Amino acid sequence: MAEKPDMDMMRMLADFRLPMMPDLEALAAAQRRNLEALSQANRVALEGAQAIARRHMEILQQGMSELTQSMQQIATQDPQSSAAKQAEVMKGAYEKAVGNMKELADLIQTSSNEALSVLNKRFAEAMDEIRTLTDKK
């Protein structure tokens, strides 16, 4: 004799298991840590940007001071010596500019790496937290 259709439905519902509800407190704590990590990464990035801007301003001020001194020296020389001095000044200014650009690029790279490191660390922690939550089930 065949079973009634409603009995089949009851058996299906009994076999159907809902996954355990996640620990809402742990989930909220994880989200707080995520936001703290984002906030820290933003602070690191902002501090890096400020340091870069300060250094850039120092470089510009130093460059203007050196340029003014060089121009004053060149103005007091005869035309032939002046041309040689101008070439020397231009070469030195170019070399210094390349060095300054490298320094600023290194500062940018360091700042970016520090901010990214904060986020990478939190991501790894979050993956461990997820693994722990799923293992509990």
pLDDT in tens, 17-75: 545 556 778 888 889 999 999 999 999 999 999 999 999 999 999 999 998 888 888 88
**Per the domain annotation, does 95 fall within a domain?**
yes
State the Cα–Cα distance between residues 115 and 117, nearest whole angstrom: 5
- What ranges in the chain are assigned the alpha helix state H? 5-15, 24-75, 79-136
The verdict on pTM exceeding 0.85 is no
**Per the domain annotation, does 9 fall within a domain?**
no
What's the pLDDT at 65?
A: 93
Q: Per residue in 121-132, pLDDT tens?
A: 999 999 998 888
More confident: 16 or 80: 80
In this model, does residue 13 exceed pLDDT 80? Answer: no
**Per the domain annotation, does 40 fall within a domain?**
no
How many domains would you assign to the chain? Answer: 1
**Per the domain annotation, does 50 fall within a domain?**
yes
**Per the domain annotation, does 116 fall within a domain?**
yes
* Domain enclosing residue 129, as ranges: 46-137
In this model, does residue 114 exceed pLDDT 60? Answer: yes
Q: Are residues 47 and 107 in contact, defined by beta-carbon separation less than 8 angstroms?
A: no
**Per the domain annotation, does 16 fall within a domain?**
no
**Per the domain annotation, does 24 fall within a domain?**
no
Instruction: For residue 33, give the nearest of 136, 128, 109 by alpha carbon.
Output: 128
- Residue 116, classed as helix, strand or coil, is helix
In this model, does residue 15 exceed pLDDT 70? Answer: no
